[in-house]
Amino acid sequence: MALEVGIVGLPNVGKSTIFNALTAAGALAANYPFATIEPNVGIVNVPDPRLKRIHKYISTDKIVPAAVRLVDIAGIVRGASTGEGLGNKFLSHIREVDAVLQVVRCFEDSDITHVDGKVDPLRDIDTINTELCFADLETVTASMDKSIRLARSGDKDAIARVELLKKAQVVLEKGQPARGLQLNEEEQKLIKQLGLMTAKRVLYVANVAENDLEGKDPLVTRVREHAAKENSEIVPVCGKLESELSELPDADRQEMLESLGLHEPALASLTRAAYKLLELQSFFTSGQIEIRAWTIPAGTKAPQAAGVIHGDLEKSFIKAEIFTVEDIEQYKTEAAIKAAGKLRLEGKEYVMKDGDITHFQAGLAGKK
């Protein structure tokens, strides 16, 4: 199942503009609240210059980058948890994603009305956090009674769940997100099972003006300080500019970027930041047909990485032949890497490193 990032925000903050630019999804959403109930879903490639570096020395028919699914969720408004706007019709979409990109507006524009009448990104963040906290509190309350009954019977899992629910209840009642809880490894697994929206990792996307591409406006500074306090990250993006760039041919896009003193669209940085947010990394396979980046969670062992390619490879895994991008750049060919003794043979306990170039060897499936 593909990992998903949900993009959320108040109406008219530029959320759908940024989604459309990321996914090249087509026409922009209309400029009014409650534009959509069902979320738009797009596949976003993760820019990785290492793929071209590999392709320089290993000729293939195509290059396939890693990707994540991006879900554009309807605008949240004050009172959503009690039925305002689209109410809880869309909350299930937030529960289902693995992490959240929260778009906040950090620019003034009299032609684009703000749902609360004035641009204030910290108030917007607080509005969304409050609504999601209220919804999560309902989830916790509903789970508490059942868990307490099971705990009385001595069920160890239920006892642990009750303790976690109590911790979550305390912070949620204060209007604080559950992601601020200090949890051990077992509690982290339990809280994922609860599906709490405020327990998900958040990346703040500051939608900035065209004259503030680096995000130096005081509005952005306030969001940056807020993100730092909760150990989150922020990426400044000009939705209007990125939308224009996404519609240009490659040559024209590069010319426009150079005229702005940029080497890549801000959305490339945003996509990589989202990938990092999910604690993901890539390994590469190369052959005559393609060079491909495969996505795995950080800490994945070699057999499980092989299983991402095909389940049979994990079951019949023997070993992995591994070299690095730096190796292929130094020695030019795989044969020369092997001759120099730089081709590593790794077994079942090997923990994959980001950027490993890998050939898996398996029993029944043979060499892949």
Residue 16 has pLDDT above 60, yes or no: yes
**Torsion angle, alpha carbons of 125, 128, 132, 134, to 10:** 100
Structure tokens at 293: 């980046």
Closest among 5, 4, 72, 71 to 35, alpha carbons compared: 72
Report whether 74 contacts 30 (CB < 8 A): no
Q: What is the pairing mode between strands 67-72 and 344-346?
A: unpaired
Cα 308 from chain centre: 19
Report residue 69's pLDDT band, with 50, 70 and 90 as the boundaries. Answer: confident
Residue 231 has pLDDT above 80, yes or no: yes
Closest among 367, 368, 354, 362 to 303, alpha carbons compared: 362
H or E element: which one contains 304? Answer: helix 302-309
**Torsion angle, alpha carbons of 315, 316, 321, 325, to 10:** -30
Taken in order of first residue, the domains within the chain and their CATH numbers are 4-277 (3.40.50.300), 299-362 (3.10.20.30)
What are the strands, taking DSSP E only, across 171-232?
201-207
Q: What is the rounded distance in angstroms from the CA atom of residue 191 to the CA atom of residue 347?
A: 33
Residues 6+ apart with CB under 8 A from 321: 343, 344, 345, 358, 359, 360, 361
State what percent of residues in the chain have pLDDT above 70. Answer: 89
- Looking at residue 319, its pLDDT comes to 96
**Strand partners for 68:** 44
How long, in residues, is the chain?
A: 368
Angle at 65 between CA 240 and CA 94, to 5 degrees: 60
- Looking at residue 194, its pLDDT comes to 87
Phi, psi for residue 109 in degrees, rounded to 5: -160, 110
- Looking at residue 90, its pLDDT comes to 60
Q: What is the pairing mode between strands 201-207 and 99-105?
A: parallel
pLDDT digits (tens, 9 = 90+) for 258-316: 999 888 899 888 988 888 888 899 999 998 899 999 999 999 999 999 999 998 999 99
- Looking at residue 366, its pLDDT comes to 43
pLDDT digits (tens, 9 = 90+) for 319-328: 999 999 999 9
Task: Judge residue 3's burial from the number of C-beta atoms within 10 Å of its C-beta, 0-12 exposed, 13-18 middle, 19 or more buried.
Answer: middle
Residue 33 has pLDDT above 50, yes or no: no
Closest among 5, 77, 76, 72 to 41, alpha carbons compared: 72
- Looking at residue 287, its pLDDT comes to 86
State what percent of residues in the chain have pLDDT above 90. Answer: 51
**The whole model's pTM is what?**
0.83
pLDDT digits (tens, 9 = 90+) for 196-228: 999 999 999 999 999 999 999 999 999 999 999
pLDDT digits (tens, 9 = 90+) for 46-65: 999 999 999 999 989 999 99
Region 63-76 average pLDDT: 85
Q: What is the rounded distance in angstroms from the CA atom of residue 356 to the CA atom of residue 214?
A: 32
How many CB atoms are located within 10 Å of the residue 170 CB? 12
pLDDT digits (tens, 9 = 90+) for 167-184: 999 999 998 999 989 888
Q: What is the rounded distance in angstroms from the CA atom of residue 21 to the CA atom of residue 233?
A: 21
